[in-house]
Amino acid sequence: MRILPSPDEPANLNPMPLTLVLNGQPRVFESLSASSSLSDLVQELGLKGDRVAVEHNGEIASRTVWGETALTENDKLEIVHFVGGGVS
């Protein structure tokens, strides 16, 4: 797990799209860059953080560290989205 730079460090002025392997499939995220976090990815996917589990490069990522867990090119992520429902 790579930790994001502190807010005092200079920002990346020329962000490049980020390619991630999401649930086994390579996917390019134009709106994400190397300064993006797991929280940014969950938001970009339109998922509710309290209804997903994330595995980042083979390790379960606790929701409490998503905001400080940086994404890098070709990271491997498995995301499981929980849905409710059933017979009433």
Do the Cβ atoms of 68 and 3 come closer than 8 Å? Answer: yes
Q: Which residues are CB-neighbours of 49 under 8 A, at least 6 positions away?
A: 39, 42, 63, 66
- Topology of the domain comprising 2-6+16-81: Ubiquitin-like (UB roll) (3.10.20)
DSSP code, position 14:
S
For the chain, give every domain's residue range.
Answer: 2-6+16-81
Going by C-alpha positions, the residue among 22, 52, 26 that lies closest to residue 39 is: 52
Strand pairing category for 69-70 and 18-22: unpaired
What whole-number percentage of the chain has pLDDT above 70? 81
Whether pTM > 0.85 for this model: the answer is no
pLDDT value at residue 14: 42
Tens digit of each residue's pLDDT (9 = 90 or more) over 7-50? 555 555 545 899 999 999 999 999 999 889 999 999 999 999 99
